[in-house]
């Protein structure tokens, strides 16, 4: 079974819901208008001096009666995103073509439906300490809940799992799909990321002094932390075929690595990040000069951006255009890898590089070619970076071409 290393997949359909809006069109319009979706934190009972990205209308989402037991903020967000962009009919078409058991569901999430548990802990029986009867752990808090819900909602019977590797989760699912399809386990996969606002991440990142009191300013001189946000994005992936035309978008490769350095701080020189990007380039059989744009992890913390910048400069030098879209969407944690993969695909489709928002002045200590304004430019290949706690790194390369490129090694 040699020769699997290069195995491009076709992005057959996408759907995106963030604090910028529901659906691809709303999101792309906001990005082209350089609109920031963040607001001052007023989530639930949270009292923190920080900014968040909240998806509107989740209280109005009702799960179908037969799946009501899955009801929680995270699964409502998943359903809202599934219902956008004609995603469901696209899945149904492929499920009919290949069989419901030949479509996999691989989703990234960091906290799943933990908000349900956090609220349940306020409603414990004063005598026994028991959690309320209506709290259903398997369908809400458990990390698999979102993949289980999406698989059930779409009536699929193929392999499924949740990847939960913190903020790289939503990127790593693309690798799962690539391997499962290449090994013949399935013919198509729904990958994506769904993470929703909860107390654990808001108070948790605050405890590490990683939340900013302003909208996050990736790569900015005055950056001082992240803006926690929620979002859901889904991509339907199939094998790439020779006859597909040039306006289609393909996943060329997935590069993964571990920092082996620290649980919550990145390697200071970005060694792990560099390794992931290098592996993605190797997987795509591309040299660094073939990458026209990099959608950075760019969270807006001092150490994350400094580390990623070092890795970037080591591999790409200081001229490859890059930006972080977290200034617009916030940091969507376990969903970020998928959200930014979809944004990267939209950039390729529209030949536009989004400028990073909120950052007024780039940190002069960072040498990457970070864009603050949108830039129209013909794009062939682009990379999306996602790095997470535990030193989990993942870089994805997308392209308008799935075959051997001019500059390919």
Partner 1 sequence: MKMPSIFVEAVGICGPGFTGWAAATTCLQDETLWKLQATVIPMPELLAPSERRRIGLPVKLAIAAGCDALKQTHLSVQSLSTVFASSCADGDNCHPICETLALTERLISPTRFTNSVHNAPSGYWGIAMQARAPSTSICAFDASFSAGLLEAASQCLFNQIPVLLIAYETPYPQPLHDKRPLLESMSIALLLAPQLSSSSQAKLDISMASKPATAMGNVELEKVRMGIPAARGLPLLKLLANKKRGAVVLEYLNPYTLQVELDPIE
Assess contact for 330 and 339: CB atoms under 8 A: no
Select 76 or 267, whichever has its Cβ closest to partner 1.
267
**Residue 98 near partner 1 by CB under 8 A:** no
CA dist list (Å): 201 to 129, 300, 305, 338, 352: 24, 16, 20, 19, 32
Tell me whether strands 231-239 and 250-258 are parallel, antiparallel or unpaired: unpaired
- Catalogue the E-assigned strands of 35-142: 39-40, 51-53, 103-108
**Residue 314 near partner 1 by CB under 8 A:** no
**Residue 6 near partner 1 by CB under 8 A:** no
Residue 188, strand partner residues? 103, 238
Binding region for partner 1 (CB under 8 A) out of 22-30, 122-130, 301-309, 315-323: 122-130
**Residue 117 near partner 1 by CB under 8 A:** yes
Residue with tokens 């790409």: 316
Binding region for partner 1 (CB under 8 A) out of 84-92, 232-240, 271-279, 395-403: 271-279
**Residue 44 near partner 1 by CB under 8 A:** no
Task: Tally the C-alpha atoms within 13 A of residue 395's C-alpha that lie toward its C-beta.
Answer: 31
| Rounded least distance, CB 74 to partner 1, Å | 13
Tokens of 357: 């928002």
| Rounded least distance, CB 34 to partner 1, Å | 32
Q: What residues act catalytically?
A: 167, 297, 331
Nearest of 188, 180, 105 to residue 145 by alpha carbon: 105
Phi, psi (deg, nearest 5) at residue 239 = -60, 145
SS3 382: strand
What binding mask, one character per residue, do residues 380-409 give for partner 1 by CB under 8 A, x or -? --------xxxxx-----------------
**Residue 75 near partner 1 by CB under 8 A:** no
Q: Classify residue 205 as left (phi > 0), alpha (psi -120 to 50) or beta.
A: alpha
Pick one of 5, 221, 302, 404: the residue that binds partner 1 (CB under 8 A).
5
Give the separation between CA 385 and CA 213, rounded to whole angstroms.
25
What binding mask, one character per residue, do residues 238-267 give for partner 1 by CB under 8 A, x or -? ------------------xxxxxxxxx---
Select 19 or 105, whichever has its Cβ closest to partner 1.
105
What binding mask, one character per residue, do residues 202-221 give for partner 1 by CB under 8 A, x or -? -xxx-xx-------------
**Residue 142 near partner 1 by CB under 8 A:** yes
**Residue 166 near partner 1 by CB under 8 A:** yes
Size of site (CB under 8 A) for partner 1: 72
Cβ count near 376 (within 10 Å):
9
Nearest of 301, 227, 257, 289 to residue 18 by alpha carbon: 227
Pick one of 64, 101, 318, 407: the residue that binds partner 1 (CB under 8 A).
101
Site for partner 1 in 174-203 (CB under 8 A): 175-176, 178-180, 182-186, 199-200, 203
Site for partner 1 in 276-305 (CB under 8 A): 279
Tokens of 283: 């997987």
């Amino acid at each position: 079974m040699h020769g699997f290393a290069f195995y491009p997949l076709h992005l057959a359909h996408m759907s995106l819901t963030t604090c910028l809006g529901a659906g691809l069109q709303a999101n792309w319009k906001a990005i082209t208008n350089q609109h920031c979706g963040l607001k001052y934190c007023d989530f639930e009972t949270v009292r923190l001096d920080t900014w968040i990205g909240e998806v509107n209308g989740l209280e109005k989402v009702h799960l179908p009666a037969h799946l009501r037991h899955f009801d929680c903020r995270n699964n409502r967000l998943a359903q809202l995103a599934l219902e956008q962009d004609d995603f469901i009919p696209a899945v149904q078409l492929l499920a009919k073509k290949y069989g419901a058991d030949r479509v996999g569901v691989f989703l990234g999430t960091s906290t799943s439906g933990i908000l349900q548990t956090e609220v349940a802990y306020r409603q414990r029986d004063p005598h026994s300490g028991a959690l309320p009867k209506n709290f259903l752990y398997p369908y809400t808090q458990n990390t698999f809940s979102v993949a289980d819900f999406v698989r059930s909602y779409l009536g699929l019977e193929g392999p499924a799992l949740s990847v939960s590797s913190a903020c790289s989760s939503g990127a790593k699912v693309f690798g799962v799909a690539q391997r499962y399809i290449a090994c013949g386990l399935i013919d198509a996969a729904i990958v994506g990321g769904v993470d929703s606002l909860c107390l654990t991440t808001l108070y948790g990142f605050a405890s590490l002094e990683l939340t900013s009191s302003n909208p996050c300013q990736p790569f900015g001189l005055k950056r001082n932390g992240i803006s926690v946000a929620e979002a859901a994005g889904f991509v339907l992936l199939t094998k790439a075929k020779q006859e597909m035309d040039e306006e289609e978008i393909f996943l060329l490769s997935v590069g993964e690595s571990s920092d082996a350095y620290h649980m919550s701080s990145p390697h200071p020189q970005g060694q792990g990040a560099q390794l992931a990007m290098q592996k993605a380039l190797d997987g795509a059989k591309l040299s660094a000069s073939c990458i026209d744009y990099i959608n950075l992890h760019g969270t807006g913390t001092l150490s994350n951006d400094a580390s990623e910048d070092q890795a970037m400069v080591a591999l790409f030098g200081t001229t490859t255009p890059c930006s972080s879209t977290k200034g617009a969407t916030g940091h969507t944690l376990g969903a970020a890898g998928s959200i930014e993969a979809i944004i990267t695909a939209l950039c390729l489709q529209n030949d536009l590089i989004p400028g990073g928002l909120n950052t007024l002045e780039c940190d002069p200590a960072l040498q990457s070619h970070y864009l603050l304004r949108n830039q129209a430019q013909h794009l062939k290949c682009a990379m999306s970076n996602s790095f997470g706690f535990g030193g989990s790194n993942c870089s994805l390369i997308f392209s308008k071409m799935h075959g051997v490129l001019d500059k390919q090694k």
